[in-house]
C-alpha cells in the first residue's frame, strides 16, 4: 500500500504535493504527521535564522559605516538599506518574529562586531560592548543618510 511517509524519503516535492492534497481533502488520518511537524518546526527555525542573518548584516555595515568613514562605499549603503528592508518585510509577513528580533538583538550585535572587525581589520575592542544602534536605527533606515560623498 502506498503511504505518504515513504515519499518523504524518496521524493520530497511529491511528498509536499500529496500532503497538501490530503489536507485539502480533510484526509488527516493519512498524513505523515511526524515529518509534517518536523517540516513546520524547521520552517520556523529558518525564518528566525534569516532574521538573525539580516540583522547581523545591518549591524555589521552600520559599524563599518561609523568606524571607518573614510572607506564608505555604495555597497555598504546598499547592504544597510537592503537588509533593513528584509527585516521589515519579515515583520510585515510574520509580526510574531519581532519577539525573536528583540531577544536576539544583543547576540546579533556581538556577531556583527566580530564580522566588522574581520572586514575592517580593526581590533574587536574598537566596537562598544553594547550596541550604539537602537532597534529603530536598524529598522527605520533613512536612505538619505547613506549617500557616499
Summarised one tens digit per residue, pLDDT across range 16-33 is: 999 999 999 999 999 999
Give the model's confidence band at 133: pLDDT under 50 very low, under 70 low, under 90 confident, else very high.
Answer: very high
For residue 64, the tally of other CB atoms under 10 A from its CB is 23
pLDDT for res 132: 98
pTM: 0.84
Task: Check if the beta carbon of residue 66 is closer than 8 Å to that of residue 132.
Answer: yes
72: left (phi over 0), alpha (psi -120 to 50) or beta: beta
For residue 114, the tally of other CB atoms under 10 A from its CB is 13
Minimal CA–CA distance to 57: which of 137, 115, 105, 117? 115
| Alpha-carbon span 27 to 30, nearest angstrom | 6
pLDDT for res 148: 82
Here the cell at position 37 is 511537524
- Kindly tell me if the per-residue pLDDT of 2 is higher than 80: no
pLDDT for res 59: 98
Amino acid at each position: 500500500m502506498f503511504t505518504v511517509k515513504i515519499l518523504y524519503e524518496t521524493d520530497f516535492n511529491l511528498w509536499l504535493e500529496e500532503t497538501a492534497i490530503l489536507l485539502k481533502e480533510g484526509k488527516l488520518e493519512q498524513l505523515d504527521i511526524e515529518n509534517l511537524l518536523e517540516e513546520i518546526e524547521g520552517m520556523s527555525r529558518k525564518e528566525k535564522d534569516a532574521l538573525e542573518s539580516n540583522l547581523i548584516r545591518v549591524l555589521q555595515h552600520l559599524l563599518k559605516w561609523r568606524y571607518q568613514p573614510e572607506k564608505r562605499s555604495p555597497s555598504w549603503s546598499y547592504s544597510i538599506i537592503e537588509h533593513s528592508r528584509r527585516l521589515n518585510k519579515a515583520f510585515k509577513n510574520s509580526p510574531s518574529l519581532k519577539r525573536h528580533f528583540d531577544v536576539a538583538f544583543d547576540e546579533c550585535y556581538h556577531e556583527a562586531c566580530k564580522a566588522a572587525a574581520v572586514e575592517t581589520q580593526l581590533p574587536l575592542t574598537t566596537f562598544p560592548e553594547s550596541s550604539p544602534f537602537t532597534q529603530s536605527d536598524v529598522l527605520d533606515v533613512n536612505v538619505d543618510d547613506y549617500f557616499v560623498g
